[in-house]
């Protein structure tokens, strides 16, 4: 038993409680609450007045798959064809990549990572802890979503560079529909066979059955509407990735019932479809009660700057509590892992970050990062 004390523990639970002690055993939180008598056989850690939050969560990144920010050096995009549903994050992730160390330096303990957005259908994402001895030991969800992309990315890669389909948004939509249409035509036993043999229809069947969501990269308002339209057409769960112009059609997004991962913000518009990007969208989504998380899209904003992405949303009107939740418990809820991560509560994984100051203050520095109760980072 290890007991951490002399700190302010921000639980990020439903009541936003702030407590004085955190007890950890076998990688789990066994007590968090007011200070009480410490057992004689416990190990104590005096945090000397620091501030402690849950480990941060980025549910849209390419950690471990993208060597650098350049398109030429990465294992995230399979450029050979626009339709690659069998690509899988776990076949690409390098757990020794420096981005995992950067994540720990920034207090990020969980990431959703996988194929990028060059392809109309890019492949399968996974959710991982940012520390642990092996890849298998880090995996929280092996198949967390089928990643696809609308808009300029697949058009530019395949239409403009390779002079092949898709050259238009019409072709992108047709390619996206194709997998679902073919999967829908199969009888249940035929679908089972497709899953058993891991054919290219397997991911579409899993999405149709509700085993994982469709995760679509969409910036422009019309692309967001196309994503919603296709998801409704096949009655599948959709997660809007970026949703950059969602504030321009905010009622339609709310009425869709789908949720979004917003960002990244700290970039100049790299293409025409991101010209209306604004950190103010987070406050607008909060006002309209649309569930959202905030992302880095690492490496486009480095993973260690996740808290700054939330801070930028605060500068544009988002309240502090929701900003913290957007990179902790709300992110966990959107990937259905809030029973394990996202807040400091009894029974949950002991993923937490020790800060020198309150997290959104300018001086705030990560002092220590813990994953499953083990300290993996300590500032010099």
* pLDDT tens digits in sequence order for the chain, 380 residues long: 999 999 999 999 999 999 999 999 999 999 999 999 999 999 999 999 999 999 999 999 999 998 765 656 688 999 999 999 999 999 999 999 999 999 999 999 999 999 999 999 999 999 999 999 999 999 999 999 999 999 999 999 998 888 899 999 999 999 999 999 999 999 999 999 999 999 999 999 999 999 999 999 999 999 999 999 999 999 999 999 999 999 999 999 999 999 999 999 888 888 899 999 999 999 999 999 999 999 999 999 999 999 999 999 999 999 999 999 999 999 999 999 999 999 999 999 999 999 999 999 999 999 999 999 999 999 98
- What does the pLDDT read at residue 69? 59
- What does the pLDDT read at residue 359? 98
d(CA 89, CA 6): 40
3-state DSSP assignment of residue 373: coil
- What does the pLDDT read at residue 25? 97
- Tokens 């969208």, residue located: 281
Q: What separation in angstroms does the CA of 146 have from each of 7, 54, 76, 133? A: 41, 27, 14, 27
- What does the pLDDT read at residue 202? 98
Domain spans in the chain, listed from the N-terminal domain onward? 1-54+343-380, 56-341
**Nearest CA-CA partner of 366 in 51, 9, 131:** 51
- What does the pLDDT read at residue 160? 85
Q: Please give the structure tokens belonging to residue 68.
A: 């650098």
Q: Please give the structure tokens belonging to residue 34.
A: 């007011």
- What does the pLDDT read at residue 126? 98
**Fold annotation for 1-54+343-380:** Urease, subunit C; domain 1 (2.30.40)
Cα within 13 Å of Cα(164), Cβ side:
11
Distance of CA 125 to the CA centre of its chain: 10
CB 106 within 8 A of CB 305: yes
Q: What are phi and psi of 248, to 5 degrees?
A: -80, -20
- What does the pLDDT read at residue 327? 98
Q: What separation in angstroms does the CA of 334 have from each of 144, 329, 349? A: 11, 9, 17
- What does the pLDDT read at residue 79? 92
The CATH number assigned to the domain with range 56-341 reads: 3.20.20.140
Rounded to two decimals, what is the model's pTM? 0.97
Using one digit for the tens of pLDDT, what is the confidence trace for 182-207? 999 999 999 999 999 999 999 999 99
């Amino acid at each position: 038993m290890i007991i951490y004390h002399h700190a302010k523990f921000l639980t990020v639970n439903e009541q936003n409680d702030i407590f004085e002690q955190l007890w950890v055993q076998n990688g789990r939180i066994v007590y968090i609450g007011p200070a009480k008598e410490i057992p004689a056989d416990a190990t104590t850690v005096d945090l000397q007045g620091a501030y402690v939050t849950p480990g941060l969560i980025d549910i849209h990144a390419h950690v471990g798959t993208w060597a650098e920010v350049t398109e030429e050096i990465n294992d995230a995009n399979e450029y050979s064809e626009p339709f690659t549903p069998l690509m899988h994050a776990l076949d690409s992730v390098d757990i020794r990549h420096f981005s995992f160390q950067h994540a720990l330096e920034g207090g990020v303990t969980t990431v959703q990572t996988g194929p990028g957005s060059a392809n109309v259908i890019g492949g399968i994402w996974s959710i991982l802890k940012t520390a642990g001895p092996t890849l298998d030991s880090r995996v929280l969800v092996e198949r967390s979503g089928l990643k696809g992309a609308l808009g300029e990315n697949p058009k530019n890669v395949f239409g403009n560079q390779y002079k092949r389909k898709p050259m238009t948004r019409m072709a992108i939509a047709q390619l996206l529909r194709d997998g679902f249409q073919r999967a829908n035509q199969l009888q249940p036993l035929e679908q089972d066979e497709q899953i058993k043999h891991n054919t290219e229809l397997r991911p579409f069947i899993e999405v149709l059955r509700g085993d994982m969501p469709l995760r679509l990269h969409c910036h422009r308002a019309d692309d967001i509407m196309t994503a919603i339209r296709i998801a409704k057409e096949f009655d599948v769960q959709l997660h809007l990735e970026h949703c950059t112009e969602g504030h321009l059609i905010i009622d339609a997004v709310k009425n869709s019932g789908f949720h979004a991962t917003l960002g990244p913000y700290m970039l100049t518009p790299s293409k025409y479809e991101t010209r209306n990007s604004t950190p103010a969208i987070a406050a607008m989504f909060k006002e309209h009660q649309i569930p959202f998380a905030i992302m880095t899209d690492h490496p486009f904003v480095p993973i260690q700057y996740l808290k700054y992405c939330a801070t930028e949303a605060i500068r544009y009107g988002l309240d502090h509590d929701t900003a913290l939740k957007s990179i902790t418990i709300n992110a966990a809820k959107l990937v259905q892992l809030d029973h394990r991560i996202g807040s400091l509560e009894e029974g949950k994984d002991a993923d937490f970050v020790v800060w020198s100051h309150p997290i959104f203050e300018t001086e705030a520095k990560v002092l220590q990062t813990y994953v499953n109760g083990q300290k993996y980072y300590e500032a010099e």
